[in-house]
Structure 1
């Protein structure tokens, strides 16, 4: 049975020792007894006790010194630089590696100078044209001066966050909503970057801005559908402009070609008309002496040549009606068309087969060929 089980166990180690009840030993009494024993041994030993006390004190001091020296070793990683403070004041900056600093005298603050850090900011902001937009931007930066990063401002991360928020609100407040939401986002991002550089430069915080990202920009949810329609209309506008430019690039060379062709045709027509006019002038200059020598013959010749040119381009129908009731109808153009269709030379027998009744001068009907009638009419017209 265990000593602390109920039922009157008498095996409690703190009871019934020496015939009396006793509790757990008092720590103060333990230490008093221990130091008392050391004091008695020192008093009894005389000089030997003093030497043992000195050796113990020396060992204790050596141990403390060893612990102090060992505790001063520290390591700076490759991506870090150490800022050493001596009694709370800046002393130096150390490079990566195993280093030693006296404990309780120097303190070392490691600062990461290679990692790319990010800081974001977002919020609803009022634009220049009094519209509310929700903007989210993210900044990436890196520490380049550990001392300035540690001591230039009290809280560098918070200072950077406030500076970024201030830069975004300033730029958005001086921009139109369409520029922030649509085609002016790249310009807005660049302006925020420049504004942030101007804000943090007087503080000399020891940081370098690596990049600035425009994560999101959107209108309030209440008017989001209307803004989506506006953005779609702007995209359609740009698409129509590109299509019109493509059509212009396609049609312009064709139009220029037509213009050049018309100019060349007009120039050729001008030259042709000019040359024809000059030829007519030369012809009349040649006819003038002949007309002066024989005006009647020359006039008749000019008349015949003119009629030949005019009648050569028109359809001709010859009618012979001289007395009586019979009439000869001779469509010469039809006959010529039939000859061309047959592609054969017209024989005299073919023409003689087309005989029509013709009234002669004596009033009697006689059969004569169209050729004879044509010949007689021609001679009569010539006379």
Structure 2
């Protein structure tokens, strides 16, 4: 409290025009030591240090503590005196060029450059924020003070400057892909119509159909696409069997059905999204039963191979039977024209076919050798038919002839 009382007394003295800080050059208001015509207190005037005034320095005197005009107590006057034109300002001081109180050069008319600079900055800001170049695959939505007003097509467009109007440019024709599930390591098990589980991963491709609906109807469009795609895939696979899910034709039907389901749901949401297509990337059994599923697949492949082999043999037998039937039909036509001749020809052909495959022939007829060694006869016949090699002329005959 004593400290506060002393501070209050000093304020009262200052308001009364007296020096609350001790001695001053103008008088001895508080009974302190007088400084007279002393220097600035730093010994620069040649006086010894013991002649300096004692006590705290008076902040209302000029700098250096020299005698002279008392400094005004007004804050505006204090800062005005600290300018470059203030008294006793040394070159290169705090108020000189480059200091904190640096002043810009004036225009030829004596006016400041600040309004010109501000006007140029404002014009640049207006030009940059009000001119928009929108690409051929892009569109832009314009909001006036945060409320949607219109949609801009591609080309050079102009709007009110920011923050009056804000422009959000979006690529509407670019294809966006969503991988479900997001990581290949994760399993997405879906129940089929025959109560089996299948691990499916697929890709959904889409783009923006209506930019206004896409920006302002859905809070998170991509998350909505993921959820709608998963719901449509589960509903479609539940209508198919496990074999149809694994087959190529079944996959194509599932992809088409999922795309149509997604488009219907998103149109009801007014999401402004166009589903371009769905592609099943992987369709495998669950990892827990993959070994057993492989065994079943191998067994099915072996059964298919055996069935195919049996069908091939059956087709071959049927083809031979059909050929023999056609040949019999032709023989029958000949038999109807000449029965005796046809009967004799069939007998000869049959006997030739049978006897050509035997080595012995027994003939029960008079005056005929009962045993015919047909192999020996054939061998002799082949030896007789084989041409003999020409004899080489001897040397002795050639010599006798020459004599």
Higher mean C-alpha displacement, 66-75 vs 148-157: 66-75
Name the structure 2 match of 1:333.
Answer: 368
* Change in 2 beyond 3 A, CA 1:242/1:275: closer
Q: Is it true that 1:186 corresponds to 2:252 in the alignment?
A: yes
Map 1:347-362 to 2 at 5 A: none
Name the structure 2 match of 1:199.
Answer: 265
Q: By how many angstroms is 1:168 displaced?
A: 1.0
Number of aligned residues: 258
Q: Give yes or no for contact 1:133–1:220 (8 Å, CA) kept in 2.
A: yes
Residue in structure 2 matching 1:70, options 127, 148, 164: 127
Map 1:17-96 to 2 at 5 A: 34=79, 59=116, 62-63=119-120, 65-72=122-129, 73-96=131-154
Q: Is it true that 1:225 corresponds to 2:291 in the alignment?
A: yes
Q: Is it true that 1:112 corresponds to 2:171 in the alignment?
A: yes
Q: By how many angstroms is 1:198 displaced?
A: 2.4
Q: Which runs of 5+ in 2 are unaligned?
A: 1-41, 45-51, 58-73, 87-108, 182-187, 343-362, 381-403
In 2: Cα distance, 1:232 partner to 1:68 partner: 72
Question: Greater strand percent: which structure?
Answer: 1
What SS does structure 2 have at the residue aligned with 1:334?
A: coil
Map 1:95-134 to 2 at 5 A: 95-102=153-160, 103-122=162-181, 123-134=188-199
Q: By how many angstroms is 1:257 displaced?
A: 1.9
CA-based RMSD of the aligned residues comes to: 4.3
What SS does structure 2 have at the residue aligned with 1:128?
A: coil
Q: By how many angstroms is 1:224 displaced?
A: 0.8
Structure 1 length as normaliser, TM-score?
0.55
Larger radius of gyration: 1
In 2: Cα distance, 1:167 partner to 1:268 partner: 71
Q: Is it true that 1:265 corresponds to 2:331 in the alignment?
A: yes
In 1: Cα distance, 2:337 partner to 2:228 partner: 80
Higher relative contact order, chain-length normalized (CA < 8 Å, sep 6+): 1
Residue in structure 2 matching 1:208, options 274, 298, 304: 274
1:279-313 Cα deviation digits (max 9, x unpaired): xxxxxxxxxxxxxxxxxxxxxxxxxxxxxxxxxxx
Name the structure 2 match of 1:375.
Answer: none
Q: Give yes or no for contact 1:127–1:176 (8 Å, CA) kept in 2.
A: yes
Q: Which runs of 5+ in 1 are unaligned?
A: 1-15, 22-28, 42-51, 277-313, 318-331, 343-383
Runs of 4 or more consecutive aligned structure 1 residues displaced over 6 Å after TM superposition: 16-21, 29-32, 35-38, 52-57
